[in-house]
């Protein structure tokens, strides 16, 4: 199950040996063999495999993968090419367009962001079909916290975009050299409570430029 690039594997090797992760692995082996689980097993660590640890410039934390067929492929908020763009991502694109005055691509596949250093990390990396949050509390949160801790400890500044209460729970552990931006979740249920107008994308780019980094092309 563990297919992960050397950049992250070297940092997480001890984590894979801990009892909680071994229990998680056994749970997932049973789930994948008896139920429909998303994403495909080989895509569980796609977010990490898409961005080397040392190349991360922006972190966006999601809740868990999309739970309908053909959507999830291991990157938070992202869907595979040719799939209808989900409502939360529609709202993310709306905010980008209003914030930056650009037109977003019509594809919901955010690999184009990951290639520029955006880590699209879900709190839980797997989910049962049609059952949101069904793998919550199985150990993924401990693993995700370890990743956030490793990034937070990096001296090189980066941006954390924390949308909604689940993502914002990580805020207290993030070191002060990084920029932490908080807003309501982009879901249609909460986007109008402050996600729209948050200008996180221009603020993230301003911070990156101020620290000598190339800004993200968010289109």
Catalytic residues: 64
User: How far apart, in whole angstroms, are the C-alpha atoms of residue 198 and residue 92?
Assistant: 11
Instruction: Look up residue 134 and give its DSSP letter.
Output: T
Write the DSSP symbol of residue 55: G
Report DSSP state, residue 184.
-
Give the phi and the psi of residue 11 in degrees, each rounded to 5: -80, -25
Which residues are registered as beta bridge partners of 59?
Answer: 119, 160
DSSP character at residue 217: -
């Amino acid at each position: 199950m563990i297919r992960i690039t050397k950049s992250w594997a070297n940092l997480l090797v001890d984590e894979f040996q801990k009892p909680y992760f071994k229990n998680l692995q056994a749970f997932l082996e049973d789930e994948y063999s008896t139920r429909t689980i998303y994403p495909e097993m080989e895509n569980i660590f796609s977010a990490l495999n898409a961005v080397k640890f040392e190349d991360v410039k922006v972190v966006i934390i999601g809740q868990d993968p999309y739970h309908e067929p053909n959507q999830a492929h291991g990157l938070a908020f992202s869907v595979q090419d040719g799939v209808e763009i989900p409502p939360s991502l529609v709202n993310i694109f709306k905010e980008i367009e209003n914030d930056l005055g650009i037109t977003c691509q019509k594809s919901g596949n955010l690999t184009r962001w990951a290639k520029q250093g955006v880590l699209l990390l879900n709190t839980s990396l797997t989910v049962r079909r049609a059952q949101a949050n069904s793998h919550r509390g199985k150990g993924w949160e401990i693993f995700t916290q370890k990743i956030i801790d490793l990034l937070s400890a990096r001296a090189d500044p980066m941006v954390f975009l924390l949308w909604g209460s689940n993502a914002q729970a990580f805020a207290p552990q993030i070191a002060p050299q990084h920029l932490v931006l908080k807003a309501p979740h982009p879901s249609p249920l909460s986007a109008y409570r402050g996600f729209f107008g948050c200008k996180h994308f221009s603020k993230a780019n301003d911070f990156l430029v101020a620290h000598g980094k190339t800004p993200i092309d968010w289109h």
